[in-house]
Amino acid sequence: MNEIDVLKKIASNLTERKNSAALSNYRVLCSNIAFLNKAFATAIGTLRSLHSQIESSLTNDLHLNSQYKSGTDLNAFVPIVSRLQLNSFSVFEKLAALTEPDERAHITLESVSALSRGFDDYNDLVTATRQYIDSIVSDSYQLCLLDPKSFNYHVLVSLNSFSKYATKSLAHALFNVEVESALNEFGTIKFKDWTKSHITECNHSTFAQKVDFLFSVLGAPTDPDLPDDLKNLFKFSSEFTHIGYISTFFTSTAGAEVIFGDEDGPYLPSTENFSELKYEILETACNALLATYIPSLIKCLEKLMLKSQADKFSALLHQSAAALSDAIGTRNSKYFFFIKTGLIGSTSSIPLTCMCGETRTWVPPHATTDLYCTSCGSSFQLLEVDGDGGYIITSNGPAKIIGANVPDFHDLPMAEQIKLLKQCEEAAKSAHGPQPGSQPDAAQ
Binding residues (CB under 5 A) for Zn ion: these are: 354, 356, 358, 373, 375-376, 378
Distances (CA, A) of 8 to 4, 14, 246, 399: 6, 10, 15, 61
* Bond prior to 266 in cis (omega within 30° of 0): no
Strand, coil or helix: 402? strand
d(CA 256, CA 258): 7
Strand, coil or helix: 266? strand
Give the 3-state DSSP-derived string for 295-363, with helices as H, strands as E and coil as C.
HHHHHHHHHHECHHHHHHHHHHHHHHHHHHHHHHHCCCCEEEEEEECCCCCCCCCEEEECCCCCEEEEC
d(CA 80, CA 88): 12
d(CA 128, CA 209): 22
CB–CB of 435/396 below 8 Å? yes
From the number of C-beta atoms within 10 Å of its C-beta (0-12, 13-18, 19+), residue 7 rates as exposed
